[in-house]
Amino acid sequence: MEISYRRSLRLLLAGLLLMLLTGAYYGEEMPQNSRIKLAQTKDIVIYAGAEVSGDTQNFFFDRETLLKGKLLCIGVNSPLPHDMPVQQARNVRKLVGLYVPAAQTVNLSEETIYALCDLCAENPLVRTWITDGMRAPSAQYALQNETFEQYRKLMPASQALNKARTDVPDSGKGEHQLSAAFDLKFTGELDWSYPDPLDRSEDGRWLRENAWRFGFIRRYPPEKSSATGVNNEELHFRYVGREHALIMRIMDWCLEEYLSALERYGGITLERENKTAYVLSVPMGEHGAVFCVPEGYSCSVSADNLGRAVCMATEN
User: What pLDDT is recorded for position 20?
Assistant: 43
- Report residue 23's pLDDT band, with 50, 70 and 90 as the boundaries: very low
What is the per-residue pLDDT for 221? 97
Q: Is the pLDDT of residue 62 over 60?
A: yes
* Cα separation, 136 vs 134, whole angstroms: 7
Q: Which of 8-12, 272-276, 311-315 has the lowest mean pLDDT?
A: 8-12
pLDDT at 27: 32
- Under 8 Å between Cβ of 51 and 31: yes
Provide the mean pLDDT of the chain.
88
Distance, in Å, from the CA atom of 8 to the CA atom of 301, rounded to the nearest integer, reads: 60
Q: Predicted confidence band at 67 (pLDDT cuts at 50, 70, 90)?
A: very high
Average confidence (pLDDT) over 141-154: 78
At 161 the pLDDT is 79
- How confident is the model over 160-193, as pLDDT tens digits? 777 767 777 766 788 999 999 999 999 999 999 9
Mean pLDDT, range 71-76, rounded to an integer:
94
Q: Is the dihedral of CA 173, 216, 257, 63 positive or negative?
A: negative
**Nearest of 283, 227, 285 to residue 251 by alpha carbon:** 227
Q: By 3-state DSSP, what share of the chain in percent is helix, strand and coil, each rounded to 5?
A: 40, 25, 35
This prediction's pTM? 0.84
Give the pLDDT of residue 10.
58
Interval 121-140: pLDDT, tens: 999 999 999 999 998 776 76
Provide the strand spans (E) within 192-231.
216-218
Which of the residue ranges 71-80, 213-222, 299-308 would you say has the lowest mean pLDDT?
71-80
The per-residue pLDDT for 140 is 66
